[in-house]
Amino acid sequence: MEEIKIFCPATIANISCGFDVLGVALDSVGDEMVIRKTSKKGIFITKLEGQDLPMETDRNVAGVAGLAFLAESDYEGGFEIEIYKKIKAGSGIGSSAASSTGAVWAMNELLGRPFSTSKLVEFSMEGERLASGVAHADNVAPALFGGFTLVRSYAPLDIVPINCPAELFATVIHPQIEIKTSDSRKILKTNITLKEGIKQWGNLGGLIAGLFTEDYDLIGRSLVDHIVEPIRSILIPGFNDVKTSSLAAGALGCGISGSGPSIFAFSRGEATAEKVAQAMKDVYQKIGIDHDVHISKINTEGIREIK
């Protein structure tokens, strides 16, 4: 195979109680990319549509992830990359992760899969380092593995795929402001108290247990963030109202998607996810903020080839 066209899913990172360790892939929101082999060694971004982003290889997340891949590969040629962005940069649903994972996943396919999925996570993390200053894996891991993933450890990297309950749907609203992950990380405190830690890991354990046992009530009770949300939500207009309205409309839980400004909610069943979307939209219509809404089932396969 010389060329491949792919769908790269958007992702929700953190999922309330799992800052930097939990993430999930979405099914109906994502970018498209075309990757082709070239005889010339190197990574070349030949097309970038939909967003105003750098095309120089070393300033583009797909380029940087691709270079990390090439550095460990014995392939003598190179790759051209076309990126068709549907995910807005700075929206909080893994725009950079979609590009960096898409590049390395496709390159791996074109070379007959020399690398494991975990190794592709490592290459993609270089894209995240470029985008946010920190090589976090909570967006790139679910984009590559599909479904929910837990980063059990960063050193050594240990990614654990988590079960996805069949009836779970996500609603995501993106108020049209941009928040850079690097900025929203700077405002976080670097120490937490033992009391805060106890509450947070109680919820993280509860959420993982709820996902495996498909206990929707437990999932809902566990979607609580005592550490990051109280600080970051200040940057998101209408956050508290969106959250209150989502829960009133039947959502299991609601929180900030990644570093924001998007807000996500999980629901049991598509009908409830649609009611939640309406409740979220009503809040932003009332306060006059433009927004996009996505309703999606969970994507359990990750990046996929498209025709």
Question: Least distance from C-beta 182 to ligand HSE, angstroms?
Answer: 9
Nearer to ligand HSE, 11 or 108 (CB): 11
Nearer to ligand HSE, 115 or 266 (CB): 266
Nearer to ligand HSE, 39 or 190 (CB): 190
CA distance 172 to 99: 20
Question: Least distance from C-beta 278 to ligand HSE, angstroms?
Answer: 26
Q: What is the CA radius of gyration of the chain?
A: 19
| 244: annotated active-site residue | no
| 181: annotated active-site residue | yes
Q: Give the active site residue among 32, 122, 128, 229.
A: 128
Amino acid in the structure at residue 266: F
> Comparing C-alpha atoms, which of 29, 22, 23, 24 is closest to residue 7?
29
Question: Least distance from C-beta 283 to ligand HSE, angstroms?
Answer: 23
Nearer to ligand HSE, 136 or 268 (CB): 136
Question: Least distance from C-beta 139 to ligand HSE, angstroms?
Answer: 5
Q: Give the active site residue among 171, 181, 229, 272.
A: 181
CA distance 273 to 284: 17
**Sites of contact with ligand HSE (CB under 6 A):** 13-14, 19-20, 136, 138-139, 181, 185, 258-259
Give the residue numbers annotated as catalytic, written as ranges.
Answer: 128, 181
